[in-house]
Amino acid sequence: MKRSLSFATGAGMIGSLLVVAVGSVLWTPFPPLQIDTQARFQGPSFSHLLGTDQLGRDVLSNIIAGARTTLLAAFLATAIALVIGTFLGITAAASRRWLDDAITALATVFVAFPALLLALVIVAARGPSTATVVLTVGVAAGASVAVVTRREAADILHSPFVTAARYSGSSTWAIVHTHVLRNLFPSLTVQATGAASIAIVAESTLSYLGLGAAPPTPSWGRMLASTQQYVLVHPLLILWPALFISLAVVGITLLGDGVHERLDPTLVK
């Protein structure tokens, strides 16, 4: 079966980015924070493959080191979203009506509430940081995961095989473990990759509005935000981080599609 071209491509892209991100702990071409005021705004050259920025720092090194911040933020936000979302979703689906309604209402509030405005307020209170980004995106995405999960979990819980399992004496936890989580998996993968790409883009958007990672921590979003004032003079400085953000998002989406195609029985036939 030749099916998963998307899976292979996506896994390849994300895999290499992860290797780079992890490797950046050990090695970057230059120390990413090394300032050289004599070498500002240099174009690509053999020593600086992607050129240097407004402080004469090596752009490639910052892209590599920034991968760490950006991907870690995306990973943590996704993890938060999945934990909150699955827990609330399954609990709602498996509970009595009033608890179900309460959770649904709560989730709807967070889905309806524009996450960015939530972030604006939190940042105004706590100051800009990557943690704020992670938390805001995690909670907001968690709410939509919860809504979707509740619907799908309810379908599964009402399916004949679960009823059969229940009659054969399985505990609720066992049912959730063996049937619900397993059958939710394809949908959760899609949700997770969605949350991860939103997190990556959100990190840069929040940085643009002055709400993202604190300098000098290298991050793709902050590189975009801090170099946009030079876009007319040195457009390459905004191109590189934008390019890598796009690569990461496309990679994650392809990966999600690929996993979905592999796992979703209706597509495999």
Partner 1 sequence: MPVKAPSYTSLNMKHTMIQSVKHSALARAVACVLGSMGLLAAGCAPAATASQVTLGFTFEPTNLDISGTAGQAIPQVLLDNVYEGLVRIVDNGSIEPALAKSFDVSADGLTYTFKLRDAEFHDGQPLTADDVVWSLTRLLDDKTTAVLPVQLAQFAKVLAITADANVVTIALGERDNDLLYNLTQRGGVIFKKDTTDFAGTANGTGPYVFAKWDKGSSITLERFEQYWGREGDTKTVIFRYFADAAALSNAMLAGDIDVMTTVQSPETLEVFQSRDDLTVLSGTTNCEVTLSMNNSRAPFNDIKVRTAVRQALDKKALIDVAWAGYGTEIGGFVPPTDPWFEDLTDIAPYDESAAREALVAAGVVAGTPITLDVPPINYATNSSEFIADALGKVGFDVTITPVTWEEWLDRIFTKVDYDLTIVCHIERNDMAIYANPDYYFRFDNAEYRDLIAAAGAAAEPQERTATLRAAARLLSEQSPSDWLWLMPSLQVTKRDVTGLAKNSVGDSYNVARIERVS
Partner 2 sequence: MSGVVRRISITVVGIASSTVLVFVLLRVLPGDIATSRLGVSATPIALEQLRTEYGFNRPLIVQYLDWILDALRGDLGRSLVSGDEVRGEIADRLRVTMPLVIFSSLIAVVTAVAIGRRAALRRNRAAGIVAVSLAQIGLAIPTFVIGIVLIVVFAVQLRVLPAGGFPTAGWGSPFVAGRSLVLPVVTLSLTQTAILVRFARSRSLDFVASDAFRTARAAGRTTDAALATASRLVLSPVLSVTALQLSTLLTGAVVVESVFALPGLGSMLVRDIANRDVTKVQSTLLVLVVGIFVIRLIVEFINDRLDPRRLT
CA distance 186 to 151: 14
| Nearer Cβ to partner 1 (200/238) | 238
CA distance 21 to 248: 12
117 binds, among partner 2, partner 1, none (CB under 5 to 8 A by kind): partner 2
User: Does residue 101 bind partner 2 (CB under 8 A)?
Assistant: yes
User: Does residue 105 bind partner 1 (CB under 8 A)?
Assistant: no
User: Does residue 226 bind partner 1 (CB under 8 A)?
Assistant: yes
C-beta separation of 213 from 130 below 8 A: yes
Give the residue, chosen from 163, 171, 172, 229, that forms a contact with partner 1 under the rule CB under 8 A.
229
Give the residue, chosen from 66, 128, 251, 256, that forms a contact with partner 1 under the rule CB under 8 A.
128
- Can you say how many angstroms the Cα of residue 24 is from the centroid of all Cα atoms in its chain? 20
How many of the other CB atoms lie within 10 Å of CB of 29? 14
Residues paired with residue 58 on neighbouring β-strands, in sequence order: 52
Contacts of 255 (CB under 8 A, 6+ apart): 6, 7, 10, 11, 13, 14, 193
Nearest distance from C-beta of residue 224 to partner 1, angstroms: 12
Nearest distance from C-beta of residue 211 to partner 1, angstroms: 9
Residues paired with residue 52 on neighbouring β-strands, in sequence order: 58
CA distance 52 to 80: 36
User: Does residue 235 bind partner 1 (CB under 8 A)?
Assistant: no
Task: Look up residue 227 and give its two tokens.
Answer: 């170099």
Binding residue count for partner 2, defined by CB under 8 A: 44
Q: Which stretch binds partner 2 (CB under 8 A): 21-29, 52-60, 62-70, 107-115?
A: 107-115
Interface characters, 135-174, with partner 2 (x: CB under 8 A): ---------x--x---------------------------
Phi, psi of 58 (to 5 degrees): -75, 120
CA distance 265 to 262: 8
Give the residue, chosen from 27, 167, 233, 266, that forms a contact with partner 1 under the rule CB under 8 A.
233
Give the residue, chosen from 19, 109, 121, 214, that forms a contact with partner 1 under the rule CB under 8 A.
214
233 binds, among partner 1, partner 2, none (CB under 5 to 8 A by kind): partner 1
User: Does residue 91 bind partner 2 (CB under 8 A)?
Assistant: no
164 binds, among partner 2, partner 1, none (CB under 5 to 8 A by kind): none
C-beta separation of 221 from 203 below 8 A: yes
- Tokens 């995306």 belong to 74
Interface contacts to partner 1, rule CB under 8 A: 33, 35, 37, 40, 54-55, 123-124, 127-128, 210, 214-216, 226, 228-234
